[in-house]
Chains A and B, each alone.
Chain A
Amino acid sequence: MAEVTPMEMIAYTGSRVLQDESIVFVGTGLPIIAAMHAQYTHAPNLLMIYEAGSLAPMLEMGMPLSVGDTRAARKATYLKGLCGVFELTQRGYSDFAFIGGAQIDMYGNICSTIQGEDYRQPQVRFPGSGGAGAMAANCEKTIAIMALEKRRFVKQLDFVTSIGYGDGSPDYRDKAGVMGSGPYRVITNQALFGFDEETRRMKLLEVMPGVTTEEIQDLVGFELIIPSDVKEMKLPTEEDLTLLRDKIDAEGYFLKRQVKK
């Protein structure tokens, strides 16, 4: 079998995590690819929300290159604007948020605003929340994708852009006034994480075949919960890879990107 790239592994795992008969609010890139793959395989009635305003588009013109891409509005069932789709989310119509970010902490809080500690003059300014902060607050469950690197899985974020479980206290999200239940899965190229119900801390669920749990812990800047029953990540079949490479991202816009070591 052809070698699976890290990006393909993330997209395929993202697809596995998504459920049929649900609505996913997708961010640009791998979330779109994962949701498209799920629709083509196990979740034909999974529907997407794109934040420029569309619900359940038919992506017959190919993968949208961004959530504002006009292709993402193609043959939607409902097409309004940002208020329209975020209000669907706030009201409880959106089951999954599918977002990325620059850093994540053990409670699933995510940074996509700045690097450095001074908001007024940061070392590096990222684009900002975009929809992510609202999606993480009000979609029912948040799925995050992130390359598994120590600089990204950190003890303390530089800035909390998208709320997870906050400081881990049981009423944090309630006090924050947000609606969704919070972080659900974190997908990386080498491991799949969930969250411990009791402590709300990140928990290792699956690892790539051949990778040890110690190796995963070494790539993470905080202590993971590592249960005894960690499973192996399921690998995409030849058919899945063909779908990803030749049908969904045929031009290689996202899947051909490299993970920095």
Chain B
Amino acid sequence: MKKIGSSIKNISQVKYDEKPLEFWGPTPDEARKIMVSKPKGLKDKRTTLKDAVQKHIKDGMNLGLGGFVNTRVPVAAVHEVIRHGVKDLTLSMQSNSICAELLAGAMILDPDRVSIKRAELAWWGYEIIGIAPLLRYMTSNGMIELDDYTNYGMSVRFKAAAMGIPFIPVRDHGGADMELINKGTMMECPYTGRNVYLVPACHPDVSLIHVTAADMYGNSRLMGAQCTCSELAMAGTYSIVTAEKIIPDENIRNYPNLTEIPHPAVDSLVEVPYGAYPGACYGFHWFDMDHIKMFRAASEEFRKTGDKTKLKQYYDEYIFGCANHEEFIEKIDSETLKKVKEMDGGQPIILD
């Protein structure tokens, strides 16, 4: 392949290490092999999050985070991953807020339990609420290696993986510093002779996804913005899917067009109401800004003062103090849950 570049070096002085063109997780061939080896029949995939995490989460793996910023984010699964513990993670995601910060906080509190080595991403923050304090702490202290793409770049990397192709041409990243620092590369298009940027497929070892509804086999519906959840589920070599609601298989078969994740792309399935809380789940509840602010404030206090007390209190109360997500939700007062439900405004979804 002819490796070329735009004139980016004329405008930027950024210091960086050139990344080798390699995958930070399973290669497309490895991912295919795993998929081919799995039994594909319709079988009841329902289990508990504890068992799912126990089975699939291993040190050194690439963990894909579903949802988008604070929408349908896999909070319940992330809590369980933290309780279970996992080291040397590579995170892959487009944009995330609380899931990535929760894992980062777990590492800051106890690196022998949870550690993140690197992340391939487009964005890590809290939008209106502010910057992500723990990301900032880790980057300022050189604790994490990052690999930056645009939101389309990361999304389409999952899509390429879901399509079973090793890379995909895109019309962004080029001419910006991402061309220098990420694992993509510029090439000359064999058809037009013009420059086009290639990004590698991204196959997480395990994808964590919260869906609107699924039947017991894992056939899943995504209502509201679909984020990159179907691509991510199909890109991962394994997936843990939490569903706001389990629906009869008959419903899935009534409207098969509504299935966004087919059953073979789901390995473990758990019904977890409020599984994205304090993030939002379209049709069920809005996000809980106050709760996110509380966690962020504890994180910010640590970043500014080095005092971990409040951060530790959060984990002790809401993660380690709970055996499962149901116990976590029981700790949220009913007024709050009522309010976030009302704030969703009854967005229309199809469960039948």
Which residues of A line the B interface, CB within 8 A?
Answer: 28-29, 50-54, 61, 65-74, 79-84, 86-87, 89-90, 105, 107, 109, 113-114, 117-134, 137-138, 156-163, 166-167, 169, 172-179, 253-254
Contacts and interface: CB of A to CB of B under 8 A. Distances in A.
Given A120-B142, A253-B128, A86 B151 contact: yes
B336 interface: no
Interface stretch (B2-10, B250-258, B313-321): B2-10
A134 B227 CA distance: 16
Given A82-B152, A161-B176, A175-B175, A68 B228 contact: no
B140 interface: yes
Contacts of B70: 66, 68
A159 B146 CA distance: 14
B229 interface: yes
Contacts of A253: 128
Contacts of B136: 124-125
A109 B124 contact: no
11 contacts: A50-B225, A52-B71, A119-B16, A120-B145, A122-B140, A127-B124, A129-B150, A133-B150, A133-B176, A156-B12, A160-B176
A58 B70 CA distance: 20
Given A82-B94, A159-B12, 7 more contacts: A53-B225, A81-B231, A83-B156, A86-B156, A125-B139, A138-B172, A253-B128
A53 B227 contact: yes
B17 interface: yes
A33 to B, nearest CB: 12
Given A73-B282, A138-B171, A177 B186 contact: yes
B171 A70 contact: no
Contacts of A107: 11
A172 B175 CA distance: 7
Contacts of B109: none
B328 interface: no
A66 B153 CA distance: 20
B38 interface: no
Top 8 closest A-B pairs, CB basis? A176-B175, A127-B125, A52-B225, A86-B152, A81-B226, A125-B139, A130-B123, A176-B174
Given A134-B151, A175-B6, A129 B122 contact: yes
B7 A166 contact: yes
A29 B155 CA distance: 23
A29 B127 CA distance: 9
B309 interface: no
B148 A123 contact: no
Contact of B194 (A70, A90, A174): A174
Q: Output the residue of B10, B142, B173 with the most chain A CB within 10 A.
A: B173
Given A70-B286, A160-B8, A172-B6, A113 B177 contact: yes
Given A28-B127, A124-B136, A137-B172, A176 B227 contact: no
B7 A169 contact: yes
A109 B226 contact: no
A131 B131 CA distance: 16
B278 to A, nearest CB: 13
A178 B10 contact: no
B230 interface: yes
A138 B169 CA distance: 14
